[in-house]
Amino acid sequence: MEFANYQKLLFRRDGGVLNVSFNRPEQMNAFGEIMGPEVARFFDEVAHDDATRVVVLSGAGKAFSAGGDIEGMQRGVDDPTEFDKVSKRSMRIVFSMLRCPKPLIAKINGAATGLGCSVALLCDVTIAAAHAKIGDPHVKVGLVAGDGGALLWPQLVGFARAKQYLFTGDLMSAVEAERIGLINQCVAAEELDATVDALAQRLARGPSKAIEYSKAAVNVHLLQLAQLVMPSAIALEDLSARSADHAEAVRAFIEKRPPVFTGT
C-alpha cells in the first residue's frame, strides 16, 4: 500500500490491523470528487496488501460518512454524464468490498447515510456508537437507493422493513439498527474504540486463510445477487437523477427550504 497516494483517507497500522478514516470532517466525510475515487480503488489495493489482515473503517470528526455531497449532485443535475461517473464508481465500491478478502469492520462513530450507509453495511461486521444515526435517505433528494441500499437492506432486515425505510428515507438510531438486525452491535460511545479494537486484533491473530476463505464462501450468494441487482438498481438511480424532483430537491437544499415534489 502506497499511503502517500491518498489525500482524503487517513491510515494507521496496529500490527495486522489497518485503521482507515474518511477524512473530510467539515463535509461529514461525504465522498466528493477526490475521496470518492480514492475509496473506489482502496479496496482493490488493500486486497493485495500482505501486511494487512483486518481493515477497520471509520470517519474523522463526528460522522462516519454522509455519502454523496450536494456539490456532486448539482454537477449531476447540470451534466448527467457526471452522475454516470459517480454511479460507476459506486458500483465498483460495492463489488470491490464484496470481493476484498480481508475482514472489513465498520466502526460507525457517527452518521452513516446514503452511500456512507451502504459502505458501512458492506463491511463484514458493523459496530456503532449508540448516538450514531443510520439510514439511506436517497428518496429525500429524489433518487433511488441504487448504490447499495436496494441490494443490502432486504438481505439484512427483510423486504417489508427495507421498503419502509427506503421509501421514507428515515434515519434510525444505532439502538434501533441493532434491534432490527441492520448492524451487528451498538455500544456506548466511550466503549466503541475498545470494542472494535478487541475484535480486530482477535481476527488479526486468527487463522487468516480460514477467515478469508469463510468470507469468500459466505459472499458467494451475495455476489451473485449483486450481479443481478446492481445493474438495474444503478440504472434506475441514474434515471431518477434526471427527474425534475431530483433537481428540485438539490435546489431546495441549496436554498435552505423544503422541496416541493411534483412526481416528475
Question: Does residue 69 lie within any of the structural domains?
Answer: yes
46 contacts 13 by C-beta, under 8 angstroms: no
Q: What is the largest CA-CA distance in the chain?
A: 56
Cell readout for 88 is 460507476
Question: Does residue 31 lie within any of the structural domains?
Answer: yes
Question: Does residue 142 lie within any of the structural domains?
Answer: yes
Helices (H), 67-148: 70-78, 80-99, 115-122
The CATH number of whichever domain residue 73 belongs to comes to: 3.90.226.10
Question: Does residue 52 lie within any of the structural domains?
Answer: yes
pLDDT score at 83: 85
Question: Does residue 257 lie within any of the structural domains?
Answer: no
Chain segment 197-246, per-residue pLDDT in tens: 999 999 999 999 999 999 999 999 999 999 999 999 999 999 999 999 99
What Cα–Cα distance (Å) separates residue 51 from each residue in 88, 143, 213?
29, 39, 18
How many structural domains are present in the chain?
1
Cell readout for 219 is 459472499
Alpha-carbon 236 to chain mean position: 19
Chain segment 9-29, per-residue pLDDT in tens: 999 999 999 999 999 999 999
Contacts of 132 (CB under 8 A, 6+ apart): 64, 108, 109, 110, 111, 112, 173, 174
Question: Looking at the DSSP assignment, which residues form a beta bridge with residue 59?
Answer: 22
Scored b (16 or more CB within 10 A) or e, 72-82 reads bbbbbbeeeeb
Question: Does residue 53 lie within any of the structural domains?
Answer: yes
Domain of residue 40 covers: 3-205
Regions of the chain with pLDDT less than 70: none
Question: Does residue 215 lie within any of the structural domains?
Answer: no
pLDDT score at 75: 87
Question: Does residue 238 lie within any of the structural domains?
Answer: no
- In 3D, which of 200, 222, 103, 100 has the Cα closest to residue 154? 222
pLDDT score at 70: 80
